[in-house]
Structures are given as structure tokens and as C-alpha cells.
Amino acid sequence: MSEITKKVRVRFAPSPTGGLHLGGVRTVLFNYLFARKHGGDFILRIEDTDQSRYVEGAEQYILDCLAWCGLNPDEGPQNGGPFAPYRQSERKANYRIYAEQLVKDGFAYYAFDTPEELDTQRQITPNFRYGHENRAFLRNSLNLSAEETKALLDQNTPHVIRIKVPVDETVHFVDMIRGDVSFDTNLVDDKVLLKADGMPTYHLAVVVDDYLMKISHAFRGEEWLPSAPVHILLWEYLGWKADMPEWVHLPLILKPDGNGKLSKRDGDRLGFPVYAMNWTDPKSGETTRGFREMGYLPEAFVNMLALLGWNDGTEQEIFSMDELIEKFSIERVSKAGAKFDFEKAKWFNHEYIKKAEIADIKGQVLNILHDKGIQVADNEYFEKVLEAVKERMTFLQDFWEQASFFFETPEEYDLNAVKPKWTDEKTEFFKSLIQCYKAVSATDAWESVNLEHIFKSLAEEKNIKAGELMLPFRVMLVGGKFGPAVFDISVLIGQAETIKRIEKAVIAFTE
């Protein structure tokens, strides 16, 4: 079925077990772009059926991540919708009905094997799997009599329900990225559909909920491909194959060297985040750094993710959300994994900070100053400083490194940059410059062009190349070899502060 012949409804269905990996956010993004392009709905469904892995706070964290990225769902646990509830743990009663129906129709069976019995099988048989090779010899309703099975059920004997995968068949489906995909059923084991606690496994729940929520296209990572034959069979066995969503198995996000899937450990090892936002494990107290807290703008993060495995066929790299929605297509999503390039990710953020409106980033930058104990009394001054240095910032956190000298007089200087070439003539030049700058009145105006003219005229008078004096002047004002145009710095910090810094630095340079 073509992507435009039915109402588009897509879903992101995370498990609330921890931080949200950038691969998960990219899945959200591709869902979101596809839905918006085709006038469809984007649904958030929380897959919390594995209560043993449930982590307190993880669901809210997922919602916060999506909100930060601007990828808010049309339906979900927070805002509801016509197919509520959107947490699978609240839909528990639905799943047993369908699991029992599969048993009744001969497509599934009760398995009463205890964990200890299965452990014994694993010790006897290397790479043991529960399937067509051995199910006739294990403790299940396929080889127990109907009376024995009923007695065990009446006694509330712990059991699971497993799918009965057929023998010697081939399961086919069409993936919108990979084309025709097929699986030999002899290589597929009889997955558990309903656990002993009555909760469904992912395999049953995803099919039932995608059907009931009328999902039209199922986007997920390619690591789920091995599970696809079980899901295809369930759609068929439940009589819903005509309503089965179209499949989109997205390429992996790979380590920078391309060798395997990017993981949190890779980020820890190589010094970059892999989570959208900081995640603090409530049990260990360990905090894993996120892109937001490192100083990424959400627009840059989204733009970067969009180009991990997709391009529009041109050389364009910077896209607004509206442009992404307009240009996104499944046909341009690559089959191959996308290598994560942290340097490129930094480039995206730098580009977005450069073009950011001051009003959009000032709040976060003010927080950085507050963390340094700096209280901003003059908002206009702060905004001018931010405008002066934002093109030099890769992350928002770079503001302090690039601009601290606007708020504090340097206590230390990069003397190695100055002292080897310092001379008595330069000492005399800067002492004279102090007098010249003191003489600047309100009439002359403390402006960049005027200050530069005074500086260069004095250098010519003293017969010293102005270029030899610029670096020492910068170090006097800033403390090092960085910062915006030096005369612009003088204008911002003001006449008195400029003179004070020159006076202080001349003493340090001549000691």
C-alpha cells in the first residue's frame, strides 16, 4: 500500500527504562516529519509491560526530551487521545483476549515449563531455543492432553503463551527502505507472547496496539528486523493482515569508526553525549551527560539527527523544521548505517548559535553566568556581549570561556605570548596610550573607530608597527589570545576599565 493511500498514523513506542539515546530521538524525528508531511498523526505510546525494567521518572524524561526537541506528539499519555490509554500497562486486559484467541485458533500454545526446566535445557543443548525442533518434547499444551492442560490452568499453574511458528515456510514483507525482505521460519523460535504475570511481551503488544490504534506506518531501528517474522505472522493469525502497517526499519547510528552501533559507553570513552538530555539513574545516582546540558540548541540537534541516514539529494545541510517536513522522504533514507561524527555535530551547533536571535538563547546563557556567581545588572550590556561573542561559541557553555573578561578583570595573562618580544619602547607606547585614552571626552566619543585611530596614530608617531602592538593590547584586555575585535572590547568594557587594565598589565609585562 502506498504511503499516501490511507490516513497516516505513526507512533514512537519507547520503554521507560533510562536515558533517550540519540537513535531513539532520530526515530521520533523521522516519524514526526513523515506524519507532518502527509497531514497525519504522531502518537507516543509507552511500552512499559516489562515491569522489572521500569525506571521511575523515565517516562517524564522522555516527554521532556521530545518537548525540548519540539517533537510533541498529537496523542499520548500526557495529552490523551481517541485511543487512550497510551501506556501498555494500562491496557493489560486487552492482550490476554488476543493471546487466548491465538491459542484457540491453533496459532499459539500454553507452555508450563519452569525457569529451572528451561535452564536445564540450555545446559543440555548449546544455543537452546524453544521452537519446532523441541516443542513436542517440552511441557506445553501441544503434547499434553486437553484434560492435563485444563487441569494445570484450573490450578493457576504459572505459564506463558508462545506463538507456534510454522515449519518450512517463508515469511515475506516489503520494507519501505529495504524492499522485499524474507525469513525462513525454521530459523525463528516460538517467542513468548504473554508472560506468566499476564503482561504481554513486545511481540504481542506492538501488534495489538498498532492494530487498535490504526497505525499506518511502523518506524523502528533495524535491530528489530529479526523480530519482524513473528510480527508478520501475528498480523496474519489475528486476521488483520489487510490492516498491517507499512514497515520502515531505519539504519543504525554507528560509532565514529563505523564499527558497530553507537552506545553510551562509546560516548563516555570518546567524550561526547549520546543522550538527548542529562539522565540521572535513580538507583545509582549516576548522571549521564546530554546534548542539551552540553550547550546544544534543539534546532541544531534535530538538524544534525535528520542528516544521520537521510539527505535531500542536494548539498544543503542546514534545514529549518519546515524545510525538513517539506523535503523528507523515505526514498532518501539510506539502508546503510550512519557514522556519528562529533565534529560535524559541533559544526551544526556552531552554525545555529551564530544565527540565533539573542532573545532565544539569552536565558540559558544567563544561567551559565549565574552558575559562575555573576549577577547581571545591565541587561543591555549583557546582550551586547553575547552578540559580540556568539559567533565564537560552539556550545552555549563556551560563553564563559569566550566572555568572562567582560565581567571580570583578568587576573592572569598569557605572558608567553607577550614577554619574549616585549621592549621598553612598547612600555612607553602603552603608557602614552593611557594618557591618550584618558583624554578621550564625551565629545570625541568612546567608539571603536576613534580608539583604533588613536592607537594607530600613536604607533606611527612612536615608529612602532601597529601589528606588533595589537596582541599585547588584546592580552591586556582579555588575558589571552582570543576574543572579538579588540577595540570593540574596549568600547564594551568602557573607558575607565580599559585604562585600568592597560595600567595593570604594563606592570605585569615589565616585571
Active site positions, annotated: 264
Residues 6+ apart with CB under 8 A from 508: 413, 415
Q: Is 323 left (phi over 0), alpha (psi -120 to 50) or beta?
A: alpha
Cα separation, 189 vs 125, in Å, equals 15
Bridge partners (DSSP) listed for residue 87 = 46
Cβ 350 vs Cβ 267: under 8 Å: no
Q: How far is CA 347 from the centre of its chain?
A: 16
C-alpha 58/C-alpha 18 separation (Å) is 6
- The DSSP symbol for 237 reads H
Backbone angle region of 278, left / alpha / beta, with phi > 0 → left and psi within -120 to 50 → alpha: beta
What cell numbers appear for 502 in the block?
A: 592597560
Exposed (0-12), middle (13-18) or buried (19+): which is 447, by Cβ within 10 Å? middle
Decide: helix, strand or coil at residue 442. Answer: coil
Distance CA 448, CA 456 (A): 12
- The answer to whether 10 and 41 have CB atoms below 8 angstroms apart is yes
- The owner of cell 519546515 is 322
Give the distance from CA 343 to its chain's centroid: 16
Specify burial of residue 194 (Cβ count, 10 A radius: 0-12, 13-18, 19+).
buried
Residue 183 — φ and ψ, nearest 5°?
-135, 140
DSSP assignment of 159-171:
-EEEE-PPSS-EE
Radius of gyration for the alpha carbons in the chain, expressed in angstroms and rounded? 32
Q: How many other CB atoms are found less than 10 A from the CB of residue 3?
A: 18
Q: 434 vs 276, 480, 498, CA distance in Å?
A: 50, 20, 9
